[in-house]
Amino acid sequence: MSETKVKNKPTRPIPNPIEPVNKGFWDACQGGVLHFQQCDGCHKFRHLPRNMCAYCGSPEWKWAPSTGKGKLFSWTIAHMPMHPAFVADVPYVAAIIEMEEGVRLVSWLRSVVLEDICLDMPVKLMYERITDDFQLPCFVPA
Amino acid sequence: MGETLNFSEKASIVGIGETDYVKGAKVTAVEMMLEAGRKAIADAGLSPHDIDGLVPAPAYTTGEELAANLGIENLRYCSTVHMGGASPTTAIQNAAAMVSLGVCNNVLITLGWNGYSALRPKPGIPPTRPMGMNVLDTTIKDFYMPYGITSPVQMYSWFAMRHKKLYNVPDEATGHIAVAARKHAQLNDRAFMKGQELTMEQYLKARWISEPMRLNDCCLETDGACAVVISRTEEAKDMRKRPIVIMGCAEGHPYPADDIASRPDLFKFGLTYAAPIALKMAGIKVQDVDFLQIYDCFSYVVMLQMEALGLCERGGAYDFVKDGNIELGGRYPLNTHGGLMSQAHVWGLNHVVEAVKQLRHEGGLAQVKDCELGLVTGWGDLGDGSLVILRR
């Protein structure tokens, strides 16, 4: 691949959060850790990151690592690229994964035969490198 | 449900206005909103100076700008609803409550945009103002976009896919909605898709956009504007046109509203909360209505709203939409103007305009015979909802 081609390739949207809690989520992924906030008050996990617990009201929490295991809650197969950076990727499976911790997150389902995709199929965590400095957690069939 | 202030029947829609619906308007969104606004005010037999309340679109303009153009010296009430496509229908609730309380007398609601010209650059069409960002922006940028989820059709497909699999919904279900909208558009000179018919066979053959959504599951991208005027029913009786009475209205939000993935119940929408409140206020059952104008950014979203309204059980929308039930001549004619899918995308304010035409019995070839009672929903920002129940 020539250098020009690399330069012209539209850049992937990399999360660059302003919110500290969102930044904390992504920073850990760069070290290969998928973690979620866990409430100090009621020990419930949560995702998206928030500043307090919606269940018990506690503002105290810590990051807790995920088992990386989950199941497929819903998905779409994107056939029409809606962003120039994803033109070469279609069709791709953008999914909602329900983790063992009870939280759900948006991610990719990779290395899957499209016809085999079904509700609740077990999936496990892996990482996909997007740039030299950034990797994205995604999932494959378990 | 707690007691709520009941302003049923106290306010009416007294005027409606709309621009042409086109691709490639040569005018700005503000100009279109002012054109629709002037028409709605004239339709009510009022002058712009009679307007003392504004609920402008949540994008492309401000109350201040509209008031300066219309010459509203003493603007007694101005608010903006930020619920995406549910904003215009929710605006009716705000307006009806405010005129009922006497905070103001005549409220103009308007919505317009270059939904075709503004979204992607087009040759020969000047750039428009930016739309402004909504509440979901942080979530989308920080958590969805890295995975190539950048467009509503992809996000709505998460609702659709899970629902389709859980309840075994066949592809024909959404086909009935797209085909009915297109059929109705053939009766409407203002419909963008007049002259382009759609069969179930064509629907099923169309390309995927984002599974399970095909091309014709998606609404149009058009330029245009609508406006309505809301006044107290008591005074409306002396106005130019028969007032269309606001029997009930309510808004609702999904929880949490700023993320889809973490909603405990994926199919509990704003409309799920709002529908019983508006129906109680109107003193009717949803089955009593003569027609449905349901917000149709995507066909699957129409089915989800039918379930949220209580027209059918959860998972039961396919049985509701088949056998012509939602076509003119059926029990619940749906989107008799063609909707966002086949008339134009005006954030659902065109659904309100159509409901008023129907209830005035000015529905033209698409008139629902002898209709007395109609329902309009608004839907936006990935699950916000509102509804208005109107009576002749």
* pLDDT tens column, B255-301: 998 899 999 999 999 999 999 999 999 999 999 999 999 999 999 99
Position B227 scores a pLDDT of 97
Q: Which residues from chain B sit within 8 angstroms of residue A86, using beta carbons?
A: 148, 150
Do A19 and B142 lie within an 8 Å CB cutoff? yes
The beta-carbon neighbor of B210 closest among A46, A79, A118 is A79
- Do B143 and A130 count as a contact with CB atoms less than 8 A apart? no
pLDDT number for residue A19: 83
Left, alpha or beta for B112 (phi > 0: left; psi -120 to 50: alpha)? Answer: beta
**Closest CB to B150 among A26, A83, A118:** A83
Q: Which residues of A touch B256 (CB under 8 A)?
A: 48, 54
A–B: how many Cβ contacts below 8 A?
Answer: 110
Which residues in chain A touch residue B149, judged by CB atoms under 8 angstroms apart? 78, 94, 106
Q: What is the pLDDT of residues B317-357, one digit of tens each?
A: 999 999 999 999 999 999 999 999 999 999 999 999 999 99
Res B136: pLDDT: 79
Q: How confident is the model at residue A8 (pLDDT cuts 50, 70, 90)?
A: low
Q: Does B189 touch chain A (CB under 8 A)?
A: no
Q: What is the pLDDT of residue A1?
A: 34
- Dihedral sign from CA coordinates of B371, B249, B342, B298: negative
pLDDT of residue A34: 97
User: d(Cα B243, Cα B96) in Å, to the nearest integer?
Assistant: 13
Q: Which band of pLDDT confidence, cut at 50, 70 and 90, is reported for residue B6?
A: confident
Q: Which residue of A has its CA nearest to B142?
A: A15
Across the range B60-86, mean pLDDT stands at 89
Question: Which residues of A are less than 8 Å from B145 in CB distance?
Answer: 13, 15, 83
- Distance between A81 CA and the closest CA of chain B, angstroms: 8
Enter the DSSP assignment of A103: -
CA distance from start to end of chain B: 28
pLDDT for res A2 = 36
Verify whether the Cβ–Cβ distance A22 to B142 is below 8 Å: yes
C-alpha B343/C-alpha B370 separation (Å) is 23
B307: left (phi over 0), alpha (psi -120 to 50) or beta: alpha
Does the pLDDT value for residue B306 go beyond 80? yes
Determine the residue of chain A that is closest to B138 in CA distance: A17
Assess B89–A contact: CB distance below 8 Å, yes or no.
no
Q: Which residue of B136, B143, B147 is the best one to mutate when testing the A interface, meaning the one whose CB has the most A CBs within 10 A?
A: B147
Most B-contacting residue of A12, A34, A76, A121 (CB-CB within 10 A), to test interface: A76
Measured distance CA(A52)–CA(A55) in Å, rounded:
9
pLDDT of B90 strictly over 80: yes
Q: Is B119 on the interface with A (CB under 8 A)?
A: no
- Please state the rounded mean pLDDT for residues B223-249: 96
Confidence of residue A6 (pLDDT cuts 50, 70, 90): very low
Q: Name the pLDDT band for B24 (thresholds 50, 70, 90).
A: confident
Nearest CA-CA distance, residue B155 and chain A, Å = 8
Contact B135, B256 (CB under 8 A): no
Contact: A13, B146; criterion CB under 8 Å: yes
CA distance, residue B143 to nearest chain A CA (Å): 7
Q: With contact defined as beta carbons under 8 Å apart, do B36 and B29 qualify? A: no
Q: Which residue did the predictor score with more confidence, B3 or B31?
A: B31
For position B350, what pLDDT does the model report?
Answer: 98
- Name the residue among B138, B256, B261 with its Cβ closest to that of A96: B261
Please list every residue in chain B whose beta carbon sits closer than 8 Å to the beta carbon of residue A79.
Answer: 207-211
Q: In this complex, which of B146, B166, B211 lies closest to A76 when CB atoms are compared? A: B211
Residue B11 pLDDT exceeds 70 = yes
Contacts of A115 in chain B (CB under 8 A): none
Report percent pLDDT > 90 for chain B.
83
B121 pLDDT more than 90: no
pLDDT reported for residue A4: 40
The length of chain A in residues reads 142
Q: Do B262 and A82 touch (CB under 8 A)?
A: no
